[in-house]
Structure 1
Amino acid sequence: MPIKSRDAAAGRRRFLKSAPVAAAAASLTSPVIAAAAQPPAAREASRFAPPNTAAETLAPLIDPSNQTSSGGDFMAEVLNTLPIDFLAMNCASSFRGLHEAVINHTGNRPQILTCPHEEISVSMAQGYAKIEGRPMAVACHGTVGLQHASMAIYNAWCDRVPVYVMIGNIIEADKRGLRAEWAHSAIDPAAMVRDFVKWDDQPASLQHFAESAVRACKIAMTAPMGPVLLSLDGELQENPIEDRGRLRIPKLAGVVPPVGDPGAIAEAARLLADAQAPVILADRMARTPAAMARLVELAESLQCPVIDEGGRMNFPSRHPLNHSFRRASVVGEADVILAIEMNDLWTALNSFSDRIVRDSRPIFKPGTKIITLGSRDLYLKANYQDFGRFADVDLAIAGDGEASLPLLTERIRQRVDASRRSAFEARGSKLAQAQRASLEQAKSQATIAWDASPITTARLCAELWARIEGKDWSLVGNGIRVTWPQRLWNFDRPYRWNGFSGGYGLGYNAPASAGAALANARHGRLSVSIQGDGDLMYAPGTLWTCAHHRIPILYVMHNNRAYHQEFMCLEAMAARHGRGVRNARIGTTLTDPDIDFATVAKGFGVYAEGPITDPNDLGPALARAVAIVERGEPALVDVITDPR
């Protein structure tokens, strides 16, 4: 969906009407006059910089050659055959050939998103892909841009999200000119991130690029999904095409997700159907909007509890079988556990104490049968340890979780007779009663310190819910993992929640939320994000991108003026050594001066209110901000909150 950008060109047009500039313009050579008549997509780049008399009145340098096409043109054509609608970038000379081709040759398709940092670009692509189900392309500036992007690429890798990264490079030494081009080039630039991309290549010809571009998209979108990277030589982008007739763009055909082995699925069905207390765990299971309904069918066929780990929007939060906040109880009673697309099964099944002597123990009883179903075992790497601690299982089924659910559900139904079905219904009735009690308990707990200042996170989430409950909303970010939304709100659609960062890297939430909001915009959804203060300080330029491209999103600041997780860690360490906790604030707080996020947001062109300290002011402020977002603009409400 094309998105609108703010028109900042009016000032430049007024400037060009001035007498001195008009006189100078009259003496320009015909190529420059032709450039002034370029289509809007081509003029887009000119509006980012303030007017400059010298730059706008001098004739261009004489180039010994004039070419009608370039390798970048063909690259842009290839990208337009892929399911890629957007290209996020911070403009750079190393991919200027591709950039120019996109804005002029293919008419700004894929549509360019201007991002003031490569980490913003990649994180936006990660959030976008989880909502839209297709990748966003990202362009990075050689070695330096890739290093900026590396943290966000790592997040996407850990989160198993397809992100399509391209970087500029100058491979041949004799083609590098300025000193900067040497610093920005490498023999093997992808080596910097190869441990956490699924595949990379450095095409040596345009036909090589066409095949690798299509291959990269196919690999990124095949389970288990992940980021991919292409290194694009500057000469290949900028040189003329020798023989366009010899170039061919391959056809992209998606890979059908693998279903688990039928025999293993049948054995899992037997164990689950015969169990007295089966439990389902689901993490990154939901790959498409169909996944939630499939998991509901499976759970209802067994009338067993489901624990949604939150890696994706897997299961309705108010479904009677959702017992995500009763983990210790239901796992402790389980005799069979089915774990679907789990990122870290060991942590889900064990308690852990981070004290002087780190200690852990299982929360499931001895003899419990554990079944895993997922694509995680199909692709792992060695260096980065995001795969978690090894967990003992009884039956490990390799296959896409979402794709395998219909067969598993069918096999279970075939095994359940009338007497078992009656027992299942009785079990489901008890679980529904426990779930209702859990919800009422959460509502009661949310009222504790209701009128306190700083504002409690429970009040913040309750006030926000009251303003969006009747709308088609999507919680696109919750960087500090406040659990109140999942406890109080009704998550009943696949897009209501967009998961976490994957690698726990700060700087993810703000841009990933913006990317998800961009995807939601074409569906008319109201995107909201609970935004940590420390996280936003990593990528505040995200706000400018939202304002510039008119991305409708509401950021609600959880501003506790600290990196409070680390503050608590220091308190624990100081207590361990008997040194007192008074100094734990040193190096962990964001005060002196306090950050005025409303002023920061306004400076970037975003509607903002705050800082809000009185809880009675919060509801009206949120209502005003929601109205701004529904008008198609970004907004931010800065709320001074309790630490947790």
Structure 2
Amino acid sequence: MFTTSSAFLKTLRESGITHAFVNWGSDHPALLEDIERQRVEDSANAGPKIITCPNEMVALSAAQGYAQVTGRPAAVLVHVDVGTQALAGAIHNVSRGRIPVLIYAGASPFTTQGELKGSRNEFIFWLQGYIVRQYMRHTSQINSGTNVAEVVLRSLQFAKSDPKGPVYLWARREVMEEDLSEEKYKKSLDLRKWAPIEPSSISEKAANLIAVGLISAKKPLIITSYLGREPSAVSLLVALSDLLAIPVFTSCPTTLSFPHNHQNFVDLSYGMGENTWLREADFVLVIDSDIPWVPMNNRPRDDAEIFHIDVDVLKENMGSFQIPATRRWKADATLALEAILNQLNGLWTTMSAEARGLVQKRDQELLLHHSKLQKSLDAAEVDFPQDGTFTTPNLIAVLRTTLPPQTLFLNEGISNYPLVWSHLRSTRVGSIITSGGSNLGWGLGAAIGAYIGQEVDKDSPRTGTEGNDFICLVVGDGSFLFGAPSSGYWMAKRYSTPFLTIILNNGGWKSPMLSMLSVHPNGLGSVATGQQLNVSFGPDAPDYAGIASAAGGAWGKKVTRASELRESILEAIRVVREEKRCAVLDCIIQSF
């Protein structure tokens, strides 16, 4: 016998969703029944693969990690409004990170006397309500099995169209229990008729305007944050930068958008510090960036020409956003860069001697700057404290030179975000990602989802990437706890997704303290300890490696001495590679 739930799961499977990260509840009897029907009657066509998740936020973070690696959406199934609420800040991350995910939640039955299969028979159904909308690209209710496929496919159109993001479906229990004829269940789906919106480019006129602006500028600058979400765009940005010797600055990066060993990569920032490149530029091209600069800390010249290209150029879900751009285009970065390069190839031969001279001068300046930047990184990496401990640059340098070359890094270092990015010196497209949002606790679930994703794509990695065969999560101690490690490491063991976790243990929540100091640099709190400010986890901090071991049999070690780093990392690699279990290194860095 087939039901709406049968058609729902069939539609997910046939639309290319291979995995569903699930936290079951009382609204899911028909789904559970159909999963067993698939096993008994039609195991060859069963799916999607169910990943049991004891924590909803970990489930959505895992779906996010899967999509970040594969570029394809996964499904997340949760329990009515309380399960939706338990997704918590992970909803923020997938929305801000523009990650395609399909979320399904049940809803309380609407009948109470047994009139239909699935009527209310538990007290909790009188307590449940509704919540989501503002973070979703689309929300819809499934009202009948006769059109469930259309509802799902329309939702996926939104999820996979720029700006990509999460979609949310819900259905009453009676609806998911509704009987469906074999004819309706087996009705074929023509996925071509439900294709997402094709990416769009900029016009030839716009491309020419940008090309001329870049050629004419004395101090051009390109700023990006997440252009590397589409790997094919990175090589085009490199080609553009090379052609005119244009410096590239990454602001609040979420994925590798420009190789850090390239001489034209000038720096990265999360909005703090002095950005002289921005302050001196006379032409700024912002491409795929939510926060190209923080005006209180840095701003472009008043006479600078600013152009903005983005898949979400008006930042529709942001309450406040404004950069003083005189031209804006909603466009795909790959197609836009192709159009600009086409124009430049035509203009290159007619460039004046003066313009060519400026390009040559910038090229030499960038080469000199690159050399200085590398030397400053080198100096920080070898400057070990005299007491035998180590700093974040010391640690990341050893990590970079010890881990396998095809490692995928997940950066949730938070107060150490910039240091992790800078000292990993990433060069490979698809080799490093962050959550894309500001909710903490993404990393553990994302590592599990990323592992599953790279296994799915092992023989054909995402276009523009080289593929990964090892996963390392670099996470702050506070974010580690936010990630529900008891659920995360249990899942990693059950589904054989071993990865290495590097905990940057500075003794608590450093970021709130830094925020206070940025507003009250000379206030009473500026001389207070972390314990006095109640942001410290000391003096008796949790046993982070012990938590992972108890939850999922992970191997773990606390590392306090610089002399232990390389040997500890090598042993962790062996555990992950040979024993196929997670490894956790609790790395004690300078406390506060």
Give the TM-score normalised by the residue count of structure 2: 0.88
Aligned to 1:537: 481
SS of residue in 2 equivalent to 1:390: coil
Indicate the residue corresponding to 2:334 in structure 1. Answer: 402
Larger radius of gyration: 1
Task: Tell me whether 1:158 sits opposite 2:96 in the alignment.
Answer: yes
Q: Report the counterpart of residue 86 of structure 1 in structure 2.
A: 19
Q: Counterpart in 1 of 2:149? A: 210
Contact kept, 8 Å, 2:400 with 2:424, in 1: the verdict is: yes
Contact 1:265 1:397 in 2 (8 A): no
Indicate whether 1:234 and 2:167 are aligned.
no
Once the two structures are superposed, the pairs formed by residues 238-249 of structure 1 within 5 Å of their partners are 238-242=177-181, 244-245=183-184, 247=187, 249=189
Amino acid at match of 2:312: R
Relative distance call for 1:316 and 1:97 in structure 2 (3 A) is same
- Cα deviation, residue 168, structure 1: 1.2
Residue of structure 2 in register with 1:600 after alignment? 547
132, 142, 150: which is aligned to 1:193?
Answer: 132
Report the residue type matching 1:323 in the other structure: V
Query: For 2:549 and 2:326, how far apart are their aligned partners in 1?
Result: 56
> CA separation in 2, counterparts of 1:260 and 1:616?
54
Aligned to 2:588: 640
State the partner residue of 1:510: 444
Q: CA separation of 1:606/1:321 partners in 2, compared to 1, >3 Å: closer, same or farther?
A: farther
Bigger shift: residues 390-399 or 317-326: 317-326
Between the two proteins, the alignment pairs up a number of residues equal to 555
- The verdict on how the C-alpha distance between 1:242 and 1:226 changes in structure 2, with shifts beyond 3 A counting, is same
Asked whether the 8 Å contact 2:575–2:581 carries over to 1, the reply is yes
- Please give the TM-score of this superposition, normalised by the length of structure 1: 0.81
2:224 is the counterpart of 1:282:
yes
How many Å separate the matches in 1 of 2:363 and 2:577? 40
Structure 2 portions without partners, runs of 5+:
113-118, 459-467
Percentage identity across aligned positions? 22
Whether the 8 Å contact between 2:407 and 2:470 is mirrored in structure 1 is yes
Aligned equivalents of 1:423 and 1:575: distance in 2? Answer: 42
> What displacement does 1:291 show?
1.8
Query: 1:528 Cα shift?
Result: 0.7
How far has the Cα of 1:207 moved from its partner?
Answer: 3.1
Mean Cα deviation higher: 442-451 or 84-93: 442-451
2:525 is aligned with 1:590: no
TM-fit CA distance, 1:553: 1.3
> Root-mean-square deviation (CA), in Å?
2.3
CA distance in 2, matches of 1:378, 1:209: 33
Distance 1:482 1:569 in 2: 15
Query: Displacement, 1:314?
Result: 0.7
Counterpart mapping for 1:388-467 below 5 A: 388-417=320-349, 419=353, 420-421=355-356, 423-450=358-385, 452=387, 454-467=389-402
Distance change (3 Å), C-alpha of 1:315 and 1:102: farther
Larger deviation: 193-202 or 206-215?
Answer: 206-215
Structure 1 Cα separation of the partners of residues 369 and 523 of structure 2: 42
Cα shift at 1:421: 4.3
Question: Cα gap change, 1:566/1:547 in structure 2, threshold over 3 Å: closer, same or farther?
Answer: same
Q: Which amino acid aligns with 2:204?
A: P
2:9 corresponding residue in structure 1: 76
Counterpart secondary structure, 2:432: coil
* Amino acid corresponding to residue 209 of structure 2 in structure 1: E
Which residue of structure 2 lines up, in the alignment, with residue 168 of structure 1?
106
Change (3 A) 1:454 1:585: farther
Equivalent position to 1:223, from 145, 162, 165: 162
Is the 1:126–1:163 contact (alpha carbons within 8 Å) kept by the matching residues of 2? yes
Q: Aligned partners of 1:193, 1:199: CA distance in 2, in Å?
A: 10
Q: Secondary structure of 1:585's match? A: coil
Distance in 1 separating the partners of 2:376 and 2:265: 15
* Deviation for aligned residue 1:332: 2.3
Distance 2:98 2:423 in 1: 28
Q: Distance in 2 between matches of 1:391 and 1:580?
A: 32
- Say if 2:74 is the partner of 1:136: yes
Structure 2 partner of 1:318: 261
Report what 1:561 is aligned to.
507
Aligned partner of 1:21 in structure 2 is none
Contact 1:346 1:390 in 2 (8 A): no
Where 2:503 maps in the other structure, the secondary structure is strand
> Do the aligned partners of 1:450 and 1:459 also contact (CA within 8 Å) in 2?
no
Answer whether contact 1:520 1:526 (CA < 8 A) is retained: no
* 8 Å Cα contact 2:380/2:394 also seen in 1: no
Within the alignment, does 1:487 sit opposite 2:419 as a pair? no
Aligned residue number for residue 196 of structure 2: 254
Deviations 1:125-173 (A, max 9, x none): 1122111100111001001100001321111111111111011113414
Following the alignment from structure 1 to structure 2, what is the Cα–Cα distance between the partners of residues 147 and 513? 22
Matching residue within 471, 475, 500 for 2:405: 471
Which 5+ residue runs of structure 1 have no aligned equivalent? 1-67, 353-361
Q: Write the deviation string for residues 404-462 of structure 1: whole angstroms up to 9, x where unpaired.
A: 11011111222123634454234223202211210111110222334545531111111
Tell me the residue number matched to 2:464. Answer: none
> Quick check: 1:261–1:398 contact (8 Å CA) kept in 2?
no
Distance 1:287 1:579, change over 3 A: closer
